[in-house]
Amino acid sequence: MYNAKAYAAASATSPLASSTIPRRDPTEHDVQIQILFCGICHSDLHTVRNEWASFSPTVYPCTPGHEIVGRVTRVGSAVTKYKAGDLVAVGCMVDSDGTCAECKAGLEQFCPNLTLTYNAPDKHTGRVTYGGYSDSIVVNEHFVLRVPTNLDLAGTAPLLCAGITTYSPLHRWKVTKGQKVGVVGLGGLGHMGVKFAHALGAHVVVFTTSPSKTEDALRLCANEVVVSKNANEMQKHEGSFDFILDTVSANHDINAYLKLLRRDGNLTLVGAPEKPLAVDAFSLLLGRRSLSGSPIGGIPETQEMLDFCAINNITADVEVIPIQKVNEAYERLLKSDVKYRFSIDMASLT
């Protein structure tokens, strides 16, 4: 074991502060990574403040971060995919059983023995896992992704969660050219959803509560922008969408969006608000519409997404910050004031 530099929260009401965390020395299948950038996902904030207590209570101290890009510093004796110096990435998962049907299908996110990158029981240490707000991490090579060399590293980090979480449902629901696709919420996930839906050839409509984001949404290649507080504007789109991706992090009225789906249309929730959302049965049954959810994506699909980004020149729009500004960044996330992902430059962690 060794001590890594990190930022950690001591309780649900404490700010993140400089600390150290224990990491294991790489075992034979492990890759040790010097972390260069780590994106700030709203899930980090939900976890640090114990907002998901009913799903997964937070164990303190908590070091979040699951949008990790870095350079390999050391590999275990049995590692075949990576060598020191390689540019690599780690997302929301660091381990799984590797033997169940889900793992065999490359859908590790559904493995019953999945280990998440932070706040999950750590088989190696007997404690919890600690995420990417740190100078290094040690991960089984199966959960390490290859970073295409043409991508900007600060903007690549968010692809590991915001990217795959929006890419995966767009493919699962077979979004293609000419379809009408809605993206609700223009934050970290939402802005990636717009980029991917546009790249797939869809007609993209952004729903936002922030009128000031209209210009940015159009720059990100949305075809239309609807300020969701405007009931008239919303009504114009009733019954017209093939697919809607809901990325909202807080309580909101999803019936207002279900009604916008055409017959057999689907709304997929990727946002994970603290409290349950109320669903009006009529919003679903009148158009035989469906409501579903989607968690991140499997390892093969995550690599596919990174390669898709390399070909289509897609990265997240980031505001690079030093780690000392992380608490300020959290407050801005809560005010929907992020353009459109914070990416922590880990060189600031000294």
Q: Which residues bind ligand NAP (CB under 6 A)?
A: 41-43, 46, 161-162, 165, 185-190, 208-210, 213, 247-250, 252, 270-273, 294-296, 333, 336, 338
Output 22 or 295, the one with its CB closest to ligand NAP: 295
Is the Cβ of residue 30 or residue 317 nearer to ligand NAP in the bound state? Answer: 317
Q: Minimum distance from CB of 29 to ligand NAP (Å)?
A: 26
The one among 4, 69, 88, 161 contacting Zn ion by CB under 5 A: 161
Tokens of 78: 């049995």
Residue 84: exposure state from Cβ atoms within 10 A (0-12, 13-18, ≥19): exposed
CB of 166 to ligand NAP, least distance (A): 9
Instruction: Name the residue nearer to Zn ion (CB basis): 6 or 160.
Output: 160
In whole angstroms, how close is the CB of 349 to Zn ion at the nearest point?
A: 20
Compute the C-alpha angle 276/279/284, nearest 5°. Answer: 145
Question: What is the smallest separation between the CB atom of 218 and Zn ion, expressed in angstroms?
Answer: 26
Would you say 136 or 266 has its CB closer to ligand NAP? 266
Q: How far is CA 243 from CA 2, 202, 258, 266, 340, in A?
A: 47, 10, 10, 5, 22
Q: Among 37, 39, 26, which Cα is nearest to 141's? A: 26
Cα–Cα separations (whole angstroms), residue 20 to 30, 232, 269, 322: 21, 53, 35, 17
Query: Given the complex with Zn ion, which of 48 and 202 has the nearer CB atom?
Result: 48
Burial class (CB in 10 A: 0-12, 13-18, 19+), 288: exposed
Residue 46, binding choice from Zn ion, ligand NAP, none, Cβ under 5 to 8 Å by partner class: ligand NAP
Backbone angles phi, psi at 332, to 5 degrees: -70, -35
Tokens 């519409």 — which residue? 289
163 binds, among Zn ion, ligand NAP, none (CB under 5 to 8 A by kind): none
Name which of residues 39 to 68 contact Zn ion (CB under 5 A).
Answer: 41, 43
At which residue do the structure tokens 């502060």 appear? Answer: 17
Q: Which stretch binds Zn ion (CB under 5 A): 103-111, 137-145, 159-167, 331-339?
A: 159-167
Tell me how far, at minimum, the Cβ of 65 lies from Zn ion, in Å: 9
Question: CB of 334: closest distance to ligand NAP in angstroms?
Answer: 8
In the beta sheet, which residues pair with residue 277?
none
Between CA 159 and CA 215 the distance in angstroms is 23
Beta carbon nearer to ligand NAP, 97 or 331? 331
Ramachandran bin of 109, using left for φ above 0, alpha for ψ from -120 to 50, beta for the remaining angles: alpha
- Residue ranges that bind Zn ion, judged by CB under 5 A: 41, 43, 161
